[in-house]
Amino acid sequence: MEIVSISNTDTATGRKMHEIEMPNFGLGVYLMGEPGECKAAVKHALEKGYRLIDTAMAYGNEDEVGQAIRESGIERKEIFVVTKLRQPHANSHEETLERCQQSLENLGLDYMDLYLVHAPPKELAARAPVWAGMEECLSKGWTRSIGVSNYGAHHLDAMVSYASLMPSVNQIEISPWLQRSALRAAISGIGAVPMAYSPLARGHKVEDPELGKIAKSLGCTPAQAAIKWCIDSGSITIPKSSNLSRIEENLGSLELDLSGTEAAFASLEESYVSGWDPTSEK
């Protein structure tokens, strides 16, 4: 697993601020709704070598993520924890601070590593104060870095007018079927790193016959090929699985060399959105 450097660029000076290191691969824990399911998955992933966990208050399992971390016996500083401010909670500076504290309580942690605005606040007037709240969470040490999720290029452009610090990360859906080269370039352009969610298109595309041919040529599973494509696109990638053997299979994607499959992957693009797509909202 590679470690990437992320930072919040100072909007006025262009200087990198709050530079920290982050693994480029981790476990997503969305839709782990059964009691104990998330805790078991996170514990297994940590035992097998995962060091990044992506949760959100909206997933209802921050508490199990925290329990798994404590029970893993791995030092807190070795694990990178990401959580998110829910879109319905992204209303004001004050509420942003309160929700960050609630997430820390749910996790049972003193700090998180990366706090993300889960999606652009619905109210345009709330975007600046919510981001100011995120900046305050960072300056108080409640989180080591701040970023956004589901922001389109126009949302990032608008931030230049109200942010003191630009986001370190924009977490968006990226997969071989939704490659998003223009948005990835816009993210790099503000000094941030793209983070790929739903790299398997929520499992909808694991049986794509064209992906199957690529995987066969590489001698790996289809899921492994798709995950490695996302990583090789320069994106921090967070496949979800609550199946213990698939958690290990997905980690195995890191060993792959995709050389020679570039054209085959390029032809998978079909602008396929597997869930929601707030990047195109106003």
Residues engaged in binding ligand NAP (CB under 6 A):
28-31, 54, 118, 149-150, 171, 197-203, 206, 223, 238-243, 246, 249-250, 275
Q: From the candidates 59, 115, 151, 197, which is the catalytic residue?
A: 59
* Minimum distance, C-beta of residue 250 to ligand NAP, in the bound complex (Å): 5
59 is catalytic: yes
* Strand ordering across the sheet containing 80-85: 27-28, 52-54, 80-85, 114-117, 146-149, 169-173, 193-197, 236-237
Cβ proximity to ligand NAP: between 15 and 194 the closer is 194
Cβ proximity to ligand NAP: between 167 and 199 the closer is 199
* Under 8 Å between Cβ of 175 and 199: yes
Please name which of 2, 13, 44 lies closest in space to residue 241, comparing C-alpha atoms.
Answer: 44
* Minimum distance, C-beta of residue 92 to ligand NAP, in the bound complex (Å): 21
* Minimum distance, C-beta of residue 194 to ligand NAP, in the bound complex (Å): 12
How far apart, in whole angstroms, are the C-alpha atoms of residue 232 and residue 256?
10
Cβ proximity to ligand NAP: between 126 and 200 the closer is 200
* Minimum distance, C-beta of residue 54 to ligand NAP, in the bound complex (Å): 4
How far apart, in whole angstroms, are the C-alpha atoms of residue 29 and residue 7?
24
Cβ proximity to ligand NAP: between 130 and 200 the closer is 200
Q: How far is CA 167 from the centre of its chain?
A: 13
Environment class of 133 (CB within 10 Å of its CB; exposed 0-12, middle 13-18, buried 19+)? buried
Positions marked catalytic: 59
